[in-house]
Amino acid sequence: MKTYLVTGGAGFIGSNFVKYMLEKYDDISIINLDKLTYAGNLENLDSVKDDKNYTFVHGDICDSTLVEKIFADHDIDYVVNFAAESHVDRSIREPEVFVKTNILGTVTLLNAAKNAWADGDSFKSGKKFLQVATDEVYGALGSTGFFTETTPLNPHSPYSASKASADLVVKSYYDTYKMPINITRCSNNYGPYQFPEKLIPLMINNCLNHKKLPIYGDGLNVRDWLYVEDHCKAIDIVINKGVLGEVYNVGGHNERTNIQIIETVIDYINKNVDSSVDRSLMEFVEDRKGHDRRYAIDPAKIKAELGWEPETCFEDGIVLTIEWYVKNKKWMENVTSGAYQNYYNEYYKGI
């Protein structure tokens, strides 16, 4: 029985990961440590909340006393660190919390794991700390080329700078202590349970509510999109097969301009959901400060060395995603009204 400490497991990717893993494996247990910020939503985990192999801990990854207690109470085998402030626009407005959670929180987890896993000058076998990182640490590309694992880090936003700093600290624990780590750097995720501040769920929600669709700048910035379940599968593979100390890029060669994404969403909804929704909702607005022009991942290493490949193409994934939001209007209403934040109190009373 392997025990996972998943942090940020109530967020978008973390909650998809927790459910994916509990569905796939009978012989693992997962402890989910999450602060339940505006982005953490226990409704995302409704289907596993009574699973005997799942435990929720409400708390902050920066709280060293709590994190050490979790390691003292449980024989943790793997840490999967999703917990982060994740939205670029928020980091431009309020950088401090990004530095705190994304850097200090990661160091707090590293220290607790390092102490708990120490075995003389070495580490107990079978342990691993996986840092869930992002392609944004590489900065921006021009119209050609791809990010490889050896592309120099050159982050531009406070968000990506904090994530790049965390990556370097994680790497330093390998270089200095030989602590067992991996880092995964993934491209833009999309799919169910993504908070509607990010491009795709925001556009779907605005379409369904006949609101304007804000396009930053000229709308020609490019992102490389990956269906969230494919990211979860990549993390599972890196935990089990990743070579210690290595970084793995994760992406599926699905580059789209923002305008292409927005038009795809509008056209699908127009044809299948609400014919009154059309491209007249598109509205060009002021650009994001320091807006990275293009991200594109070269996933050759994870494919060649670990055998991971994405299974859901963009054309299928975007339909699955839009349909999920259409069918889960209540989830979206709860998230956008703030009602979801009462969920913890209602469902976890007395725990």
Cβ atoms of residues 175 and 169 within 8 Å: no
Residue 77 contact, options ligand DAU, ligand NAD, none, Cβ 5-8 Å cut-off depending on partner type = none
Among 22, 67, 83, 277, binds ligand NAD (CB under 6 A): 83
Residue nearest to ligand NAD (CB): 11
Among 15, 32, 44, 86, binds ligand DAU (CB under 6 A): 86
DSSP class of residue 312 equals S
**Catalytic residue chosen out of the listed positions 136, 224, 230, 255:** 136
Is 159 a known active-site residue?
A: yes
Identify the residue whose tokens are 């999703």.
Answer: 82
Q: How far apart are the first and last CA of the chain?
A: 25
Torsion angle defined by CA atoms of residues 127, 132, 136 and 139, in that order, rounded to the nearest 10 degrees: -10
Can you tell me whether residue 174 is helix, strand or coil? helix
Instruction: Note the maximum CA span of the chain.
Output: 67
Residue 321 near ligand NAD by CB under 6 A = no
Residues 172-211 that bind ligand NAD (CB under 6 A): 186, 188-189, 195
Cβ atoms of residues 112 and 67 within 8 Å: yes
Residues 101-130 that bind ligand NAD (CB under 6 A): 101, 105
Is 135 a known active-site residue?
A: yes
Identify the residue whose tokens are 């003389």.
Answer: 120
Is 316 a known active-site residue?
A: no
Name the residue nearer to ligand DAU (CB basis): 39 or 113: 39
Cα(69)–Cα(67) distance, integer angstroms: 5
Which alpha helices (DSSP H) does 178-299 contain, by range?
A: 199-208, 228-241, 258-272
Cα(101)–Cα(318) distance, integer angstroms: 31
Among 71, 225, 295, 344, binds ligand DAU (CB under 6 A): 295
**Catalytic residue chosen out of the listed positions 60, 77, 85, 135:** 135
Among 5, 48, 57, 62, binds ligand NAD (CB under 6 A): 62
Q: Which residues are catalytic?
A: 135-136, 159
Q: Residues interacting with ligand DAU, by CB under 6 A?
A: 86-88, 134-136, 187-188, 198-199, 202, 214-216, 221, 223, 258, 288, 295
Q: Residues interacting with ligand NAD, by CB under 6 A?
A: 7-8, 10-14, 33-37, 39-40, 60-62, 82-86, 101, 105, 132, 134, 163, 186, 188-189, 195
